[in-house]
Chains A and B, each alone.
Chain A
Amino acid sequence: MDQLVQQLINALSLGGIYAMLALGLAIVFSIVRLINFAHGEIMTFGGYGIFLSMVFGFPPVAALCIGLGAAVVMALAMERAAFRVMRGADVISLLITSFAVSEILKVLFQNGISARPVPISFPSAWSSSYQIGGMTIGVAPTASIFVTILSLGCLTFVLRRLAIGMAMRAAAEDFDMLRMLGVRANRVVAAAFAISGLLAGVAAVIWTAQRGSVDPMMGFFPVLKAFIATVLGGLGSLGGAVLGGFVVGTLEVLTQAFLPDSLTPYRDAIVLSAVIAVLLVRPDGLLPARSGTRS
């Protein structure tokens, strides 16, 4: 029982990270049809933002905020420098562009900072745990679940209640029509990138707070999982991205915790097989994007 609750918390915490990364991918994809392979580097950049501001002596909470801001700036810079000129290009050209951006940034991280993990020393309280009903639960995973819920709540508010959020939903449905209402395409696209960057920044905050280090590949592997989550949930569907993220995170934690040692090398293979099995039954994903969307 104790172990199950702990694993559940770990699953929610990891699933939340995947969910936020997958959401960022899905928001950008739904509007500009870009599968942003460089999304992981936005998260990594946020991580280095935290690392560097700690090095320069900022208190931990301020450093986390700077990390968030760094991720947003990176997302906007990426859109401006690489993707804006490619607007309207086909999905494959956009994907290849994002590969290039991803590689360039990874090389810059390796040569500019370090190829190896750099440590971040957060207050020890963050890595402690507390007792509840006789169970020992980590502070960081608990906090990350709250942060995830808060982020998803804020995003829902923006998309449902604010005009810019409505415009983003409209853009996902019919971007050309939105322009025929006088809306500047660049504004909506920039807003989508800013939100995806913010979510990647939140993921970076949670990730570094739990692991205490940053390396050039920090964002790459979680974003791979987030890709799987978006496909599992239904490419371009925001609800699907969140659901997919939690499913992939949960599968990963459960296989880690409960598989016999002899099978642990096959963990990713088992998770992926489960995803493929789902897609065989539901090829459009668990919660497909609305049909009838114009491209």
Chain B
Amino acid sequence: MAEARDTILEVDALDVRYGPVRAVRGISFEVAKGGITALLGANGAGKSSTLMAVAGVVPVTSGRISLFGQPTTKATPDAIVRSGVGICPEGRRIFASLSVEENLIVAGTAVATPQVAAKRRAEMMERFPILGERRRQLAGLLSGGEQQMLAVARALMGAPRLLLMDEPSLGLAPQMVDTIFSIVEELQCEGISILLVEQNAALALEVASHAVVLANGEIAAQGAPADLASDDLLKSAYLAA
């Protein structure tokens, strides 16, 4: 009982295949309530596949995923999101031909009433002032860091309990990487549980409360970030840090 209450996401013996490619091979881990769980690993390790399986976007070949204590085997991505999950996918995928504000309006349509959505939009523009300043600009014209902020703001429109973030720091200038990581920590302080996929292992291990290292679709190690960070062998083998 206690475990069910403290676990937001439970992944059990998850397998993801794309035809003959076994991207994820029987991995199990949990995301604790209120924590940041880092999912690390080299290119092609299966991090995004795991995240997209949790989101319901790629089908689970075998294994079990439970969100908020409910199995999600048959759930569609939109139903999973409406149940309280926010997604910042790999590559940000903001709607480039829509304005900043329109991106947020679209993000609010399914997860909030019009009044609540309007209130949250105002909150987002306050939290990320640059989005407020550029509200009428096409989102495609924003810089990479600004686009990432928009992607985060968009994922927050439904006031999620769990946030799935796929490499939010990728391709950003060092200063912007710091900004993004401080946002991640801020969100955690507000009580949002986070599953964070990162290639920047050093930074991810700094903010995480639990870390899972993937290699070739399997779990190479998992545990407290401090332990993983001090393991030189692990670092040199799997984490390009």
Contact = CB atoms under 8 A, between A and B. Distances in A.
A164 B95 contact: no
Nearest to B108: A163
B78 to A, nearest CB: 5
A167 B82 CA distance: 16
Contact of A179 (B77, B95, B96): B77
B95 A170 contact: yes
Interface in B146-195: 154-155, 157-158
Interface in A160-195: 163-164, 166-167, 169-170, 173-174, 176-185
Nearest to A173: B95
B105 A290 contact: no
A177 B110 CA distance: 13
A292 interface: yes
Contacts of B95: 169-170, 173-174, 177
A170 B98 contact: yes
B97 A173 contact: yes
Given A173-B95, A176-B57, A180-B89, A167 B106 contact: yes
B30 interface: no
B81 interface: yes
A182 B158 contact: yes
Contacts of B105: 163, 166
A182 B83 CA distance: 9
Contact of B111 (A164, A167, A181, A290): A181
A181 B110 contact: yes
B185 to A, nearest CB: 23
Contacts of A169: 95, 97-98, 102
Contacts of A184: 78, 110
Given A163-B106, A167-B106, A182 B78 contact: yes
Contacts of B81: 179-182
Given A173-B96, A174-B93, A174-B95, 6 more contacts: A163-B105, A166-B106, A170-B95, A180-B89, A181-B157, A183-B78
Interface string B57-69: 1000000000000
Interface of B: 55, 57, 76-78, 81-82, 87, 89, 93, 95-98, 102-103, 105-111, 114, 154-155, 157-158
Candidate in A177, A178, A179, A182 with the most chain B CB atoms within 10 angstroms: A182
20 contacts: A163-B105, A163-B106, A164-B109, A166-B105, A167-B106, A169-B97, A170-B102, A176-B57, A177-B89, A179-B57, A179-B76, A179-B77, A181-B81, A181-B106, A182-B78, A182-B110, A182-B158, A184-B78, A184-B110, A290-B97
Given A181-B107, A181-B154, A166 B96 contact: no
Contacts of B111: 181-182
Interface string A229-265: 0000000000000000000000000000000000000
Nearest to B93: A177
A176 B90 CA distance: 13
A166 B121 CA distance: 15
5 closest residue pairs by CB, A with B: A182-B81, A182-B110, A180-B87, A183-B110, A177-B93
A179 B78 contact: yes
Contacts of B77: 176, 179-180
Contacts of B103: 170
A184 B76 CA distance: 9
A178 B57 CA distance: 12
Nearest to A163: B109
A169 B139 CA distance: 13
Contacts of A170: 95, 98, 102-103, 106
Contact of A182 (B82, B97, B98): B82
B82 A166 contact: no
A292 B96 contact: yes
B166 to A, nearest CB: 11
Contact of B106 (A176, A178, A292): A178
Nearest to B107: A181
Contacts of B87: 180-181
A87 to B, nearest CB: 12
Contacts of A292: 96
